[in-house]
Amino acid sequence: MWMAGDLIVDVRSPEEFAAGHVAGAVNIPLRELAVREGELPRGQVVTVCSTGIRSLRGATALARTGRTSFSLRGGTKAWAAAGHPVVTGAEPGRRRTRSLWRRLLRR
């Protein structure tokens, strides 16, 4: 889903997001998600947090609004442990899908 360009929403605080997040993710803290859901583009959404607990709450809340949503099990910790791109700072960062595909094909 990440490589397909689906929206990734990190539901952690801005400080946690800046410390390291999935490349290309946008930051909408869980407490703001219900209010800002209308700002999100159409399509399915993947929510993420540090370990997957808050992101599951976020995905559930989005599903209640009729949106197709998923939670990244294990969060950014599992994402990084699997060798996927993590960036720091307040900006979403760039998805580098081509290099990720190459790494996956080498396995």
Write out the catalytic residue numbers: 49
The alpha carbons of the chain give a radius of gyration, in whole angstroms, of 13
Strands 21-22 and 69-71: unpaired
